[in-house]
Amino acid sequence: MLETGLTHTSSLTVTEALTAKAMGSGDMPVLATPAMMALMENAAMLAVSPELPEGSTTVGGHIESSHLKPTPLGVEVKAEATLTKVDGRKLYFTVKAMQGDAVIGEGTHLRFIVDREKFMSKL
């Protein structure tokens, strides 16, 4: 059963492929905002996945985040997601990205619980 307070931390090291220049979201060799937000989504997905019914997963529905500080190549970034509300199939999270002790991004994220087969049959 899903209960508020579930949390997970995901991490990555900034590589060329994760820079704003490589991803096309900017022209600088720093962590791209889309890469930071994907890490936040990954943490949210993993926070709840062990508690989901067989055959279910979650998909992102909305994410809103600041990006407060640039992160250079080779630096580790961690993203933490905490489940704050469960409303049927809707799961609400707070998300935060950190470079060491510094917050580099924070926001909220909404995910939906879906049946894998039904979801894929809509393609």
pLDDT at 47 (0 to 100): 98
**Hey, is 35 helix, strand or coil?**
helix
* pLDDT level of residue 1 (50, 70, 90 thresholds): confident
User: How many CB atoms are located within 10 Å of the residue 57 CB?
Assistant: 15
- Residue range 74-108, pLDDT digits in tens: 999 999 999 999 999 999 999 999 999 999 999 99
pTM above 0.75, yes or no: yes
Residue 8 has pLDDT above 90, yes or no: yes
Residue 15 one-letter amino acid: T
pLDDT, tens digit, for every residue of 13-60? 999 999 999 999 999 999 999 999 999 999 999 999 999 999 999 999
Strands (E) in the chain, as ranges, are 7-13, 56-65, 76-87, 90-99, 102-115
Chain centre distance of CA 91:
13
Cα 70 versus chain centre, distance? 18
